[in-house]
């Protein structure tokens, strides 16, 4: 059967959920420059040139360079006002890209030394999310992520705090940084704490490491979503397992290319995973460093992989279904996706529903 030819509906007006966006990485480049000037932080040329830095993280030096740039950018966030600005602007960017729900991921320990400690940092972040959601109309929540480069006991502390704030907007618990380091099972107790507290398990896997890291997320951490997960495409049995279990992969095409996981956008296995029935939620990962936001990921699916508008709509539905958005927001977004597909001009004028 011939595949439907891609059409020209505006992907920025396609309602979608954004489930893979890192906190510092969501910053606008101009905001980084202003905050660096305000706080006297010297930025390397890679962060001031106006072009995404060349980052190949598939070797140790490349990953170290990526982490160094990220850490420098994070050091520019020093006050509650900085946090509020970052979250508000991230929400504004998402609304412009058609997002109706954003789950922003953050490791609060990275900001705690400048914001008065771990608990004040979490509360500052959650207050900023609440305010930005109210002011922009974007539904928002937080995924608190542990750093796999730190001790598993630190992850358990974070998991307990994440559960403590589950009624304030924390919906998930993640595990980030280089999955080539450490073992997923070292963090199984932290994820058990989070799961027992009702939080979604969403660790990173299958980005810099192969299919085995995705299996570890499933077997050891009982992942309900996997950050990235694209390397699962190398193992047909694993693809079947993901499809049959309904575990969603948070796929970030521009990030995969920028970090050297794949050589070009056409190499990212979007079509392989989609046709295998693996649910996907496209995400921007770190727009500050990779140079593209949410709608651009749907553009990659269309331009580099020939996704039709009907298939793009299904990708958007999968992102909504995998989210922790309240049911009324999910229902509204799914209806708006149908409206986008039914309208050759590109669907509803505003994709973002009021925050619930």
**What phi and psi values does residue 275 have, to the nearest 5 degrees?**
-75, -20
CB atoms within 10 A of CB 91: 28
Whole-angstrom Cα distance, residue 49 to residue 155? 36
CB–CB of 96/12 below 8 Å?
yes
Using DSSP, state whether 298 is helix, strand or coil. helix
Question: What distance, in Å, lies between the first and last C-alpha atoms of the chain?
Answer: 42
CB–CB of 93/102 below 8 Å?
no
Active-site residue flag, 4: no
* 147, containing H or E segment: strand 139-147
Active-site residue identified among 207, 224, 250, 311: 207
Whole-angstrom Cα distance, residue 187 to residue 127? 28
Which long-range CB contacts under 8 A does 42-47 form with residues at least 24 apart?
Answer: 43/72, 44/69, 44/72, 47/72, 47/73
> Residue written as tokens 């490491």?
209
CB–CB of 288/26 below 8 Å?
yes
Strand partners of residue 141: 103
Token digits of residue 40: 């006297």
The catalytic residue positions are 207
């Amino acid at each position: 059967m011939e595949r439907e030819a891609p059409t020209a509906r505006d992907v920025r007006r396609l309602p979608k959920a954004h489930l893979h966006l890192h906190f510092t990485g969501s910053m606008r480049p101009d905001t980084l420059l202003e905050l660096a000037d305000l706080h006297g932080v010297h930025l390397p040329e890679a962060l001031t040139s106006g072009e995404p830095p060349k980052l190949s993280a598939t070797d140790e030096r490349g990953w170290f360079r990526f982490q160094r740039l990220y850490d420098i950018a994070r050091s520019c966030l020093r006050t509650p006002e900085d946090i509020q600005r970052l979250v508000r602007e991230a929400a504004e960017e998402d609304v412009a890209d058609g997002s109706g729900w954003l789950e922003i991921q953050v490791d609060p320990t990275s900001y705690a030394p400048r914001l008065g400690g771990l608990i004040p940092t979490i509360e500052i972040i959650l207050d900023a999310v609440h305010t930005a959601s109210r002011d922009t109309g974007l539904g928002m929540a937080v995924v608190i992520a542990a750093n796999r480069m730190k001790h598993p006991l630190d992850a358990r502390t974070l998991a307990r705090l994440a559960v403590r704030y589950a009624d304030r907007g924390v919906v998930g618990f993640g595990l980030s940084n280089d999955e080539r380091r450490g073992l997923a099972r070292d963090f199984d107790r932290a994820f058990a704490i989070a799961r027992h507290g009702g939080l979604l398990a969403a660790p990173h896997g299958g980005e810099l490491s192969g299919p085995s890291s995705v299996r570890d997320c499933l077997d050891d951490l009982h992942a309900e979503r996997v950050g990235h997960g694209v390397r699962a495409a190398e193992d047909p049995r694993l693809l079947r397992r993901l499809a049959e279990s309904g575990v969603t992969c948070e796929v970030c095409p521009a990030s995969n290319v920028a970090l050297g996981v794949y050589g070009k956008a056409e190499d990212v296995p979007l079509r392989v995973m989609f046709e295998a029935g693996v649910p996907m939620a496209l995400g921007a990962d770190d727009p500050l460093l990779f140079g593209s936001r949410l709608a651009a990921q749907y553009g990659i699916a269309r331009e580099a992989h020939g996704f039709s508008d009907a298939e793009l709509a299904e990708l958007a539905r999968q992102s909504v279904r995998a989210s922790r958005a309240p049911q009324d927001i999910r229902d509204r977004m799914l209806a708006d996706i149908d409206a986008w597909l039914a309208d050759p001009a590109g669907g509803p004028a505003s994709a973002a529903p009021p925050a619930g």
